[in-house]
């Protein structure tokens, strides 16, 4: 079983469209990380959320940790081809776990 479940598993959107990726945990999260994965470059750290209800933004990417601290969402506004990649959430729950990943394709 996965400690962190992501949905959807893959996403194909037209450039300019908004999209949301979800990360759900069965346990309370005390720190939730979002990463973008690009082949050959290693993971890219996007942002970290710690407090319930916390919301952070970086350029056109916004992430939020719900008040119960068991789910986080990543929202991309006006998607661009440069947003394409695999998005991973991660959390330290006794050991560090990554989510199942969401593959994003943005069609120009």
Partner 1 sequence: GAGVSQSPSNKVTEKGKDVELRCDPISGHTALYWYRQSLGQGLEFLIYFQGNSAPDKSGLPSDRFSAERTGGSVSTLTIQRTQQEDSAVYLCASSSTTGGTGGGTQYFGPGTRLTVL
Give the interface with partner 1 as residue ranges (CB under 8 A).
10, 31, 33, 35, 37, 39-40, 42-43, 45-48, 50, 86, 90, 92, 95-96, 98, 101, 103
Shortest distance, CB of residue 96 to partner 1, whole angstroms? 5
User: Cβ of 49: how many Cβ atoms within 10 Å?
Assistant: 22
Residue placing its CB nearer to partner 1 in the complex, 29 or 33: 33
Reduced to 3 states (helix: H, G, I; strand: E, B; else coil), residue 66 is coil
Q: Which helix (H) or strand (E) holds 73?
A: strand 71-76
Shortest distance, CB of residue 42 to partner 1, whole angstroms? 4
Shortest distance, CB of residue 47 to partner 1, whole angstroms? 8
Tell me how far CA of residue 60 lies from CA of 33, 84, 91, in angstroms.
17, 13, 23
């Amino acid at each position: 079983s996965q400690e962190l479940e992501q949905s959807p598993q893959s996403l194909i959107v037209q450039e300019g469209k908004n999209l949301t990726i979800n990360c759900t945990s069965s346990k309370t999260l005390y720190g939730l990380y979002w990463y973008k994965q690009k082949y050959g470059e290693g993971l890219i750290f996007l942002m970290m959320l710690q407090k319930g209800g916390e919301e952070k933004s970086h350029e056109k990417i916004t992430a939020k940790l719900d008040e119960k601290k068991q789910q986080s969402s990543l929202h991309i506004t006006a998607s661009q081809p440069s947003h394409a990649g695999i998005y991973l959430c991660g959390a330290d729950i006794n050991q560090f776990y990554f989510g199942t990943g969401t593959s994003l394709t943005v069609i120009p």
